[in-house]
Copies of this chain bind each other. A is one copy, B any other.
Amino acid sequence: MKLNDLLTPALILDKARLARNTMAMTKHARGLGVDLRPHLKTAKSSEVAKLALSGNAGGITVATMREAEYFFDNGISDITYAACIVPAKLDRVAALNARGADVKLITDNADVAAAIAGHGGAFKVLIEIDCGEHRTGILPDGAALLEIAVILDAAPAVELAGVLTHAGHSYSCRGKEAIEAVAEEERAAVVEAAERLRAAGHPCATVSTGSTPCVMVARDLTGVTEVRPGVYMFGDMFHAGLGTRRVDEIAVSVLASVIAHREDDNQLYIDAGGLALSKDRATGAFDDDSGGEHGDCGYGLVCDAETCAPIPGLYVAAVHQEHGMVTVAEKEAPLPFSRLPVGAKVRVLPNHVCMTSAAYDEYNVIDGDEDSAEVITTWGRCNGW
Task: Indicate if the CB atoms of B322 and A41 lie closer than 8 Å.
Answer: yes
Q: Is A218 interfacial (CB-CB < 8 Å)?
A: no
For A87, A134, A271, the residue with the greatest tally of chain B CB atoms inside 10 Å of its CB is A271
Task: Indicate if the CB atoms of B112 and A343 lie closer than 8 Å.
Answer: yes
Q: Quote the shortest CB–CB distance from A261 to chain B (angstroms).
A: 7
Q: Which residue of B lies closest to A282 (CB)?
A: B279
Task: Indicate if the CB atoms of B7 and A92 lie closer than 8 Å.
Answer: yes
Q: Quote the shortest CB–CB distance from A321 to chain B (angstroms).
A: 6
Stretch at the interface among A17-25, A173-181, A245-253, A358-366: A358-366
Q: Is A84 interfacial (CB-CB < 8 Å)?
A: yes
Task: Indicate if the CB atoms of B259 and A83 lie closer than 8 Å.
Answer: yes
Copies in the complex: 2
Which of B109, B269, B323, B341 makes the CB contact (< 8 A) with A342? Answer: B109
Q: Roughly how many angstroms separate A342 CA and B280 CA in the complex, as a whole number?
A: 28
Q: Is A88 interfacial (CB-CB < 8 Å)?
A: yes
Which residues of B lie under 8 Å from residue A257 when comparing CB positions? 86, 88
Chain A contact residue count (CB 8 A cutoff): 58
Q: Roughly how many angstroms separate A260 CA and B130 CA in the complex, as a whole number?
A: 12
Task: Indicate if the CB atoms of A343 and B259 lie closer than 8 Å.
Answer: no
Q: Is A51 interfacial (CB-CB < 8 Å)?
A: no
Which residues of B lie under 8 Å from residue A279 when comparing CB positions? 278-281, 355
Q: Quote the shortest CB–CB distance from A88 to chain B (angstroms).
A: 6
Q: Quote the shortest CB–CB distance from A230 to chain B (angstroms).
A: 9
Task: Indicate if the CB atoms of A109 and B322 lie closer than 8 Å.
Answer: no
Q: Roughly how many angstroms separate A280 CA and B86 CA in the complex, as a whole number?
A: 27
Q: Is A156 interfacial (CB-CB < 8 Å)?
A: no
Task: Indicate if the CB atoms of B9 and A385 lie closer than 8 Å.
Answer: yes
Q: Is A136 interfacial (CB-CB < 8 Å)?
A: yes
Q: Roughly how many angstroms separate A8 CA and B83 CA in the complex, as a whole number?
A: 13
Which of B10, B86, B134, B276 makes the CB contact (< 8 A) with A259? Answer: B86
Which residues of B lie under 8 Å from residue A341 when comparing CB positions? 111
The B-contacting residues of A in range 66-89, CB under 8 angstroms, are 83-89
Which residues of B lie under 8 Å from residue A342 when comparing CB positions? 84, 86, 109, 111-112
Q: Roughly how many angstroms separate A182 CA and B383 CA in the complex, as a whole number?
A: 39
The B-contacting residues of A in range 84-138, CB under 8 angstroms, are 84-89, 92, 108-109, 111-112, 115, 134-136
Which residues of B lie under 8 Å from residue A360 when comparing CB positions? 384
Task: Indicate if the CB atoms of B64 and A323 lie closer than 8 Å.
Answer: no
